[in-house]
């Protein structure tokens, strides 16, 4: 078993290693049997953290939450994504008014918007 192996595979491997049935795991963890089955099969990518943690605890496992990226990288990605969306809206409005915006100018607008978003409120950055 590797560190990069998906969590659901690690949980299922451990369950089998312990000789614990899925139904017994469900009872001991307080998670419904269908949810246990979905989590262990990998067919529940949006499984709640609480359910996954309850299963892991019964199996005597610890879930380590290790950041994949530095916080600054995640903030930059979010700012860029939001800036691109905002600039596309401006570009669309400008095109409707017959005032097309050059690709160079769009790039500058995105860069400036990213800087403004990063300098401003985090709530504003994450708000849709």
Print the domain residue range for 35: 7-58
76, part of any domain: yes
Q: Are residues 94 and 54 in the same domain?
A: no
Find out whether 117 and 81 touch, Cβ atoms under 8 Å: no
Find out whether 125 and 82 touch, Cβ atoms under 8 Å: yes
63, part of any domain: no
Torsional class of 98: left (φ above 0), alpha (ψ -120 to 50), beta (otherwise): left
Distance CA 8, CA 42 (A): 6
pLDDT truncated to tens, each residue of the chain (128 aa)? 545 568 899 999 999 999 999 999 999 999 999 999 999 998 877 788 899 999 999 999 998 877 777 888 889 999 999 999 988 887 777 665 566 677 888 899 899 999 999 998 888 888 87
pTM across the whole model: 0.55
Give how many domains the chain has, as a whole number: 2
Q: Are residues 39 and 75 in the same domain?
A: no
Last residue of a domain, one of 58, 79, 96: 58
């Amino acid at each position: 078993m590797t560190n990069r192996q998906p969590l659901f595979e690690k949980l299922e491997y451990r369950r089998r290693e312990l000789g614990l049935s899925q139904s017994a795991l469900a009872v001991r963890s307080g998670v419904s049997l269908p949810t246990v089955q979905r989590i262990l099969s990998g067919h529940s990518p949006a499984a709640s953290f609480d359910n996954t943690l309850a299963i892991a605890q019964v199996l005597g496992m610890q879930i380590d939450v290790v950041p994949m990226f530095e916080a600054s990288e995640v903030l930059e990605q979010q700012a860029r994504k939001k800036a691109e969306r905002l600039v596309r809206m401006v570009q669309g409005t400008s095109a409707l008014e017959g005032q097309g915006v050059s690709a160079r100018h769009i790039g500058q607008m995105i860069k400036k918007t990213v800087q403004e978003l990063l300098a401003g409120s985090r709530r504003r950055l994450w708000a849709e």
